[in-house]
Amino acid sequence: MRNPEIEKAERGVIDSYQLQHLKNTVNKVLMVSPFYRERFAELQVDSSKLRNIADLQILPFTTKTDLRGHYPFGFMAVEKHRLSRIHASSGTTGKPTIIGYTKNDINYWADIIARAILTATGLDSGLIHNAYGYGLFTGGLGLHHGAEKLGMTVIPASAGNTERQITLIEDLKPDILCATPSYALNIAEKMIEMGKSPQQTSLRFGIFGAEPWSEEMRQKLEELFQIKACDIYGLSEVIGPGVAVECHEAQDGLHVAEDHFIIEVINPVTKKPLPEGEEGELVFTSIKKEAFPIIRYRTGDIASITRNKCSCGRTTARMSRIKGRMDDMLIIRGVNVYPSEIELCLLKLQELTPHYQLDITNQGPTQEITLNVEINDSVYQKTSRNLEHHEIKQISSKLKEKLKSACLISIEVNILAPKTLPRSQGKTVRVVDKRKTESLM
Ligand code: DLL
Q: What is the rounded CA–CA span in Å between residue 330 and residue 367? A: 9
Chain mean pLDDT for the chain: 94
CB < 8 Å & 24+ apart, contacts of 219-223 = 219/347, 220/185, 220/347, 220/354, 221/181, 221/184, 221/185, 221/188
Q: DSSP readout, 165-195?
A: HHHHHHHH--SEEEE-HHHHHHHHHHHHHTT
- Tell how many helices (H) and how many strands (E) occur in the chain: 13, 21
CA dihedral 133, 136, 137, 143 (to 10 degrees): 70
**1-326 adopts what CATH topology?**
Rossmann fold (3.40.50)
Q: What is the rounded CA–CA span in Å between residue 340 and residue 213? A: 6
Q: 377 alpha carbon to ligand 1 midpoint, in Å?
A: 31
Q: In this structure, are residues 9 and 315 in contact, taking their beta carbons and an 8 Å threshold? A: yes
Q: Nearest-5° angle of CA 69, CA 75, CA 77?
A: 165
Q: What is the rounded CA–CA span in Å between residue 51 and residue 53? A: 7
pLDDT, residue 1, reads: 73
Q: 402 alpha carbon to ligand 1 midpoint, in Å?
A: 28
Q: 303 alpha carbon to ligand 1 midpoint, in Å?
A: 13
Q: Summarize pLDDT for 390-439 with one digit per residue, the tens.
A: 999 999 999 999 999 999 989 999 999 999 999 999 999 999 988 755 44
pLDDT, residue 93, reads: 63
Nearest ligand 1 atom to alpha carbon 321: 28
Q: What is the rounded CA–CA span in Å between residue 232 and residue 255? A: 9
Q: Where in the chain is the domain with CATH 3.40.50.12780?
A: 1-326
Question: What crossing angle do the helices spanning 138-150 and 103-121 adopt, rounded to 10°?
Answer: 70
Q: What is the rounded CA–CA span in Å between residue 151 and residue 124? A: 7
The CATH number corresponding to 330-439 among 2.40.10.350, 3.40.50.2300, 3.90.550.10, 3.30.300.30 equals: 3.30.300.30
pLDDT, residue 275, reads: 97
Per-residue pLDDT for the chain (441 aa), expressed as one digit of tens each?
Answer: 778 888 999 999 999 999 999 999 999 999 999 899 999 999 999 999 999 999 999 999 999 999 999 999 999 999 999 999 999 986 656 789 999 999 999 999 999 999 999 999 999 999 999 999 999 999 999 999 999 999 999 999 999 999 999 999 999 999 999 999 999 999 999 999 999 999 999 999 999 999 999 999 999 999 999 999 999 999 999 999 999 999 999 999 999 999 999 999 999 999 999 999 999 999 999 999 999 999 999 999 999 999 999 999 999 999 999 999 998 888 888 888 999 999 999 999 999 999 999 998 877 767 788 999 999 999 999 999 999 999 999 999 999 999 999 999 899 999 999 999 999 999 999 999 887 554 444
Q: What is the rounded CA–CA span in Å between residue 304 and residue 259? A: 19
Helix (H) / strand (E) containing 230: strand 228-235
Q: In this structure, are residues 225 and 97 in contact, taking their beta carbons and an 8 Å threshold? A: no
Question: What crossing angle do the helices spanning 215-225 and 181-193 adopt, rounded to 10°?
Answer: 40
Q: Where in the chain is the domain with CATH 3.30.300.30?
A: 330-439
Q: Summarize pLDDT for 255-299 with one digit per residue, the tens.
A: 999 999 999 999 999 999 999 999 999 999 999 999 999 999 999
State the Rg of the chain over Cα: 23
Q: What is the rounded CA–CA span in Å between residue 57 and residue 67? A: 20
Protein residue with its CA nearest to atom 12 in ligand 1:
235
Q: 289 alpha carbon to ligand 1 midpoint, in Å?
A: 19
pLDDT, residue 362, reads: 78
Nearest ligand 1 atom to alpha carbon 243: 5
Q: What is the rounded CA–CA span in Å between residue 258 and residue 106? A: 17
Protein residue with its CA nearest to atom 27 in ligand 1:
235
Please list every protein residue whose CB sits less than 6 Å from any atom of ligand 1: 89-90, 132, 137-139, 209-212, 231-236, 240-241, 299, 301, 322, 325
Q: What are the residues whose beta carbons fall under 8 Å from the beta carbon of 250, sequence distance 6 or more?
A: 310, 311, 312
pLDDT, residue 169, reads: 98
